[in-house]
Amino acid sequence: MGRLVVVSNRVADPRKTASGGLAVALGQALQASGGLWFGWSGKVVEGGTPGEGDVHLQTAGPVQLATVDLSREDHDSYYLGYSNGVLWPVFHYRLDLADFDAGFIGGYRRVNQMFAHKLAAMLRPDDVIWVHDYHLIPLAAELRNMGCQQRMGFFLHIPLPPPLILAAVPEHEWLMRSLFAYDLVGFQCEADVAHFSRYVGTETSADILGEHEFRAFGKTLQVQAFPIGIDVDEFAALGRGRDAIDMYEQMRDEYSRRRLLLGVERMDYSKGLPQRIKAFRQLLQNYPENLGSATLIQIAAPSRESVDAYAALRHELESLCGSVNGDFGELDWMPVRYIHRSVARKRLPGLYRAACVALVTPLRDGMNLVAKEFIAAQDPEDPGVLVLSRFAGAAEQMRDALLVNPYDTTRTAETMQRALQMPLEERQRRHQALLQQVREQDVHWWRQRFLNALNAVSAS
């Protein structure tokens, strides 16, 4: 196998485990084969020229990191505008939040062209290129335009919506056609693959050659589900660290008379936060034995704050949490602890372990790694219960969680109550099955399956 080239919007130093599971997994793949990791540097150059940016090279062991700066205009149109203001909402079924009219597409194309141009100059003929996520859908098409013939794979970390939702994006045909420049396209779950198949069946003249093989625009494409996982061992090791243990003990002491429910995510409208607070309010209303006891800790780490929809969500959430606390709180008990800050990664396992119930209730999610991290962090002798949205990609794998429809407030509250009341034996049984699944289908399994499939297809 040739050198692995990973391309993603952001690049992380693979030697720093603090970067998180995905960075570690990709870093390990790169370290095994030697490789190059290419993406945006995270730096925005005020007054910089659109479509131009300096490349920075850094060596991290056998891995080369190549990052490119973005001009303010490119950042605002490619990253904030088209990626996060059009593709993210539409792919999460939120047409109401998409800004189609602002002309961001120009910046999206320009940055993909620029990345392709800079990357092409660094490529070797036998490189295997793995592109990640919605920011970079047209990258392979741009590379092919420049004559690159390497094997290229693409993995979409977010969901692919059904054809009629996707068709609302004015450039949907161009985007989907761009995917055919890859040799392999991976989605998180079977539902996404089914949406892809239906799209090409109804909106293009593609030939469906098999369950996973499509031919259109003179190109054959393999498409498969590759559910992403976590690095269970890395997370378990983090859980044995001083910071996680301190966090766990602090929580246990502080909440010794309470039952903790926990939500951890980036503040994002796909995560179902307002619906979750409303369901928690119903839990207190409908099951008054929880008054003075059930406490929801909701971590909502700041994210994409310069996109308007995120500011509106923040206000809604603050008001909902405030009203639950105002209506139900006592001098010695606040039902909701809402924290709009990030928690250090090394403390997270301790927080997960202290919770009786995790609420992972997105309205739509590609996979959702918090669900898997929660399971990995539990004490098998006395595990907490996972309440999981059926609309998270993870729900296809994690059948032993308590699955909910987050739009159904009453039933979600009922499920929270069931989770709080669940007998030890059932908790252990469910946790054991979930842990086995999270362990077997971990991030290394994901990476190897994708790269094996990519290496198995014949190059363009």
Would you please indicate which residues are annotated as catalytic (active-site) residues? Answer: 157, 365
Stretch that binds ligand GDG, among 34-42, 234-242, 318-326, 368-376 (CB under 6 A): 368-376
Considering the complex, state which of residue 73 and residue 365 has its C-beta at the smaller distance from ligand GDG.
Answer: 365
Cβ contacts of residue 214 below 8 Å, gap of 6+?
180, 197, 200, 206, 207, 208, 220, 221, 223
Q: Does 157 bind ligand GDG (CB under 6 A)?
A: yes
Considering the complex, state which of residue 23 and residue 129 has its C-beta at the smaller distance from ligand GDG.
Answer: 23
CA angle 420, 359, 324 (to 5 degrees): 80
Among 348, 358, 395, 438, binds ligand GDG (CB under 6 A): 348
Q: Supply the DSSP string of 334-397, one letter for each residue.
A: -SEEEE-SPPPGGGHHHHHHH-SEEEE--SSBS--HHHHHHHHHS-TTS--EEEEETTBGGGGT
SS (H, E, C) 27-92: HHHHHHHCEEEEEEEEEEECCCCCCCCCEEEEEECCEEEEEEEEEHHHHHHHHHHHHHHHHHHHHC
For 147-287, where are the alpha helices, taking DSSP H only?
163-166, 172-179, 190-203, 232-239, 242-254, 273-286
Stretch that binds ligand GDG, among 33-41, 121-129, 246-254, 341-349 (CB under 6 A): 341-349
Q: Does 20 bind ligand GDG (CB under 6 A)?
A: yes
Alpha-carbon span 302 to 341, nearest angstrom:
6
Among 24, 98, 158, 419, binds ligand GDG (CB under 6 A): 158
Residue closest to 69 by CA, chosen among 10, 135, 152: 10
Considering the complex, state which of residue 264 and residue 356 has its C-beta at the smaller distance from ligand GDG.
Answer: 264
CA angle 236, 240, 242 (to 5 degrees): 140
Q: How far is the CB of 382 from ligand GDG (least distance, A)?
A: 22
Distance from chain centroid for Cα 443 = 13
Other residues' Cβ atoms within 10 Å of the Cβ of residue 253: 9
Q: Does 265 bind ligand GDG (CB under 6 A)?
A: yes
Contacts to ligand GDG from residues 227-246, by CB under 6 A: 228
Q: How far is the CB of 86 from ligand GDG (least distance, A)?
A: 16
Element spanning 443, H or E: helix 443-456
Among 264, 284, 398, 454, binds ligand GDG (CB under 6 A): 264
Q: Does 345 bind ligand GDG (CB under 6 A)?
A: yes
263 in Cβ contact with 276 (< 8 Å):
yes
Q: Does 175 bind ligand GDG (CB under 6 A)?
A: no
Among 299, 321, 376, 419, binds ligand GDG (CB under 6 A): 299
Among 313, 370, 387, 398, binds ligand GDG (CB under 6 A): 370
Stretch that binds ligand GDG, among 214-222, 247-255, 263-271, 381-389 (CB under 6 A): 263-271
Q: How far is CA 294 from CA 95, 260, 283, 381, 417, in A?
A: 35, 6, 9, 22, 10
Considering the complex, state which of residue 133 and residue 171 has its C-beta at the smaller distance from ligand GDG.
Answer: 133
Paired strand residues for 260: 295
Q: Does 329 bind ligand GDG (CB under 6 A)?
A: no
Q: Does 342 bind ligand GDG (CB under 6 A)?
A: yes
Locate the DSSP E strands across 122-240.
128-132, 151-155, 184-187, 207-210, 213-216, 219-225
Q: Does 192 bind ligand GDG (CB under 6 A)?
A: no
Considering the complex, state which of residue 76 and residue 265 has its C-beta at the smaller distance from ligand GDG.
Answer: 265
Among 301, 402, 433, 457, binds ligand GDG (CB under 6 A): 301
Stretch that binds ligand GDG, among 63-71, 200-208, 216-224, 258-266 (CB under 6 A): 258-266
Alpha-carbon span 157 to 369, nearest angstrom:
11
> Would you give the binding string for ligand GDG spanning residues 114-153, x where CB under 6 A is met?
----------------------------------------
Considering the complex, state which of residue 235 and residue 328 has its C-beta at the smaller distance from ligand GDG.
Answer: 235
Q: Does 366 bind ligand GDG (CB under 6 A)?
A: yes
Q: Catalog residues that contact ligand GDG under the rule CB under 6 A.
A: 20, 22, 157-158, 228, 264-266, 299, 301, 342-345, 348, 365-370, 373
